[in-house]
Amino acid sequence: MSDSSALYQEILLDHNRRPRNYGPLVNATRVERGVNPLCGDELTLWLRMDGDVIADAHFEGSGCAISRASASMMTGAVKGKTRAEAEALMERFRGLVTGHGDAGGAGAAGEPLGGLKVFAGVARLPQRVKCAVLAWHTLHS
């Protein structure tokens, strides 16, 4: 394991232990539930839309560390983004965790993944991909 994957592991564990944006969102304009039956992950996602912009995003749920950390980081990442920007970010994230696409390349177009790159290791764990994308699929819904 390289130094960076050890660091990534630590970031994931930290988000799992102390999830950001956790708990029901007052004044939410959207509520959506997501389930990953393969692993037993469940989450509820609250969004407050301000026109086309995601003004705020919260989640609550139970599941494995990857699903919780992913939801924690996703809610932070999409805040302030337009619907189209969030969709573009989801596509890049999906590319990252499935090992397809040019998620981190210097010449890559679209939304930079930034801290979401900590999920790159999931590409080596095919059975965990659904855990990582659950929050994003729920957002998409």
**Given the rule CB under 5 A, which residues bind Zn ion?**
39, 41, 64, 67, 131
The CB-of-44 to Zn ion minimum distance in angstroms stands at: 16
- Give me 44's structure tokens: 């509820």
The CB-of-89 to Zn ion minimum distance in angstroms stands at: 21
Nearer to Zn ion (CB atom), residue 64 or residue 120: 64
- Give me 82's structure tokens: 């337009």
Nearer to Zn ion (CB atom), residue 54 or residue 72: 72
The CB-of-57 to Zn ion minimum distance in angstroms stands at: 20
Nearer to Zn ion (CB atom), residue 40 or residue 104: 40
Nearer to Zn ion (CB atom), residue 35 or residue 88: 35
Is the distance from CB of 70 to CB of 131 less than 8 angstroms?
yes
The CB-of-130 to Zn ion minimum distance in angstroms stands at: 7
Nearer to Zn ion (CB atom), residue 54 or residue 119: 119
Of 123, 119, 45, residue with least CA distance to 79:
45
d(CA 36, CA 100): 21
- β pairing state of 53-62 and 30-36: unpaired
State which amino acid sits at residue 101.
G
What 3-state class would DSSP assign to 65? helix
What 3-state class would DSSP assign to 43? strand
The CB-of-61 to Zn ion minimum distance in angstroms stands at: 10
